[in-house]
Structures are given as structure tokens and as C-alpha cells.
Amino acid sequence: MVKLITPTPIVCPNQTNPKYMPMGNAFIVDVMHCINSGNRQIKAATIDGYIVDKDQKITRLLLKREFVFEQNESFQYIEDHKNIFLEFSEIKILKEGYRSLAAQLGCGIDFLFSPQYYPYENFKEDFNSRYMALYTIEPPSLNRAKFKFISADEYAKRILSFRKRAFKNNKPLKLASTYLECYLANDDISAERNPFAGDLDLFVYQGNNSKLIVEFKTHNLPTPIKNEFFNKYESEDRRRIQVLVDLAIATNSYVLFVFWGNRHNQIKIQLINVKKRLIEERVFEKNTELLAKHILELCRT
């Protein structure tokens, strides 16, 4: 048997701790579960990564998870049970959202599963160092998944094939949710790096229609949440905001910014359109169910 590891922030090998440790995505996952509870037609999913090529086209959606073996099993167990990772309930739920977004973008999906600590730990298996399980799902049907084992270096080349560009002097990655991300950004010995793609905190959809692209912005300072706004740090956030807007344009949806933090008792949300114009904003009590309720209300207007 294998067990998936809940994504939590890790400090990459040979990197120093950041000033502010991230709070992880537990809050986002709780909001997602609230939206998905019941028999609602509106659903939500987190997207671990989406590749944007040099022409600003989204060419691939990526899901990544680490796993551990149980009961002295090995990679041969995976070989004998090829669809085991797609049978996890968590993956089944996320797969629906990935397929909806991929259908709108006309791209394919990678579901990638790596052993914990890979590729920093040698697993001594006879698979030519191909220690990760990869499922690829292609358009237009997005129904059938093909399985194979793949190495970290092979996956770096795969990212390059979809991104169509590499990076020579990328900034070192201090924090990640998998060791694979650390390796691709910091320790791949290739002349150029192919870091893992940026994520999408929450994708809210109905069938094959996108409703909201949601970005959670953590507020660590003691200043009031109500004073935060989406382009407050425009010079630092310009590229990230534009990427979200480009995604909203591609899916005919809106961008919702959610400002929150552990030291604050309130949440602020701002809804903008593809022209970066503010449509609506609200400040209310920090509560996952209440936030999910407001998100659903915005989807229905």
C-alpha cells in the first residue's frame, strides 16, 4: 500500500528559513471542502501548477503529491497496481476540477506522484532511477490516463517542452510542498533550470464553465485587513496579477482576492474583472464557512 502525504511547507535543502513561515494551504483546503459539501453544482479545486509558455498560452495543468510506502511495499507494488494513485478520494475530487479547467483551456494534465524526499534520497530500485509515477491525460476527451515511471531530470525536460523556455538565473526556492520542487529550482545540475509551475489557490467552476479564479493573500503584518487591496504592492505583484487576469480571460471568469492571516479576525475579499477594475469588496469575520458562502454568492450573481 502507499499513503499520500498532506502538502505542508518544507524548507528546501541548503536554504535558510524565511522571515515569515507560510501557513500552508489547510485554510484553503477547508474552504474548498465547504464549497464542495452537499449536492451543489458549483465546485472548487486547488490547482498545484499551470505551465504558461513563452507565448503566454497555458499548455499544461500539473498536480503533484508525495507518498510513502506502507507494510514494506516497494515500487513493484505500484507496477502491479498502476491506477492506485487515481483511486484516492482526494485525487478523484481534484481530478474533476482539473478536467473542467483543462477542457476550457484546451490543454492536458499531468498527475505526478513522487516518494517523500525524492530526488534527495536514493531508493535503490531497479527502474533506472525512474522513481516517480506519472499519469498523463490528453485533450480533447480528457478521459483516459496513461501511466509511466519517470525521473526528476526527465520531468524537468518535460516541463521545458511545455514551457518552451528555461531559466539561467532563477531565484533560489526556499520553501516548497515537495522536495521535487526544491530540486528543480535549486539543485538540478543542468545549465538551465526548469522550475515547477506556479499554482492556482482555488478554481471555482460549474460544469465546464469557470466562475472564479481565487488568489489567497496572506497578511502577516499587524495592520488592519481592511487596508489591504489587490494592487497595493503593484511593482512586486504585477506579474502575478497579470497571470491571474490572463487565466480569467482564457476562462471568461473573474479574479477574487482573499486577504487573511492567523493574527487577524477578519477577512477581506475583492472581486476584479479582466480589466483589473474593482467590482465588489467585503470585509467580514474570519470563518471558512462564511467565506465559502460569500464565494458561492459571487458565483451566482
Model pLDDT for residues 145-177, shown as the tens digit of each residue: 999 999 999 999 999 999 999 988 778 899 999
Q: Which of these, 202, 199, 201, 219, lies nearest to 286 by C-alpha position?
A: 219
| Residue 18 DSSP class | P
Each residue of 192-210: pLDDT tens digit? Answer: 899 999 999 999 999 989 9
State pTM to two decimals.
0.92
- pLDDT 10s digits, 55-74: 889 999 999 999 999 887 88
Give the integer Cα–Cα distance in Å for 45 and 266: 23
Determine contact, residues 49/64, Cβ cutoff 8 Å: yes
Q: Give 188's contacts (C-beta < 8 A, 6+ positions apart).
A: 152, 153, 156, 194
**What does the pLDDT read at residue 124?**
64
Write down the pLDDT at residue 125.
Answer: 62
Q: Can you list the positions of beta strands (E) in the chain?
A: 2-4, 10-11, 42-47, 49-52, 58-69, 108-115, 132-137, 145-150, 175-176, 200-206, 209-218, 254-260, 266-272, 278-285
Checking if the pLDDT of 23 tops 80, the result is no
Average pLDDT score over the chain:
91
- 264: phi then psi, degrees, rounded to nearest 5: -115, 145
User: Does position 127 have pLDDT exceeding 60, yes or no?
Assistant: no
- Domain residue spans of the chain: 2-13+51-187, 208-300
Nearest Cα to 83, choosing from 118, 134, 46, 141?
A: 134
Please choose, from the candidates 213, 211, 282, the residue with its C-alpha nearest in 3D space to the C-alpha of residue 242: 213
- Using CA atoms, how far residue 298 sits from 268, 272, 285, in Å, is 14, 11, 17
User: Over pLDDT 90: what percentage of the chain?
Assistant: 73
Contact of 178 with 66, CB cutoff 8 Å: yes
**Is residue 113's pLDDT more than 80?**
yes
Number of neighbouring beta carbons within 10 Å of residue 122 = 10
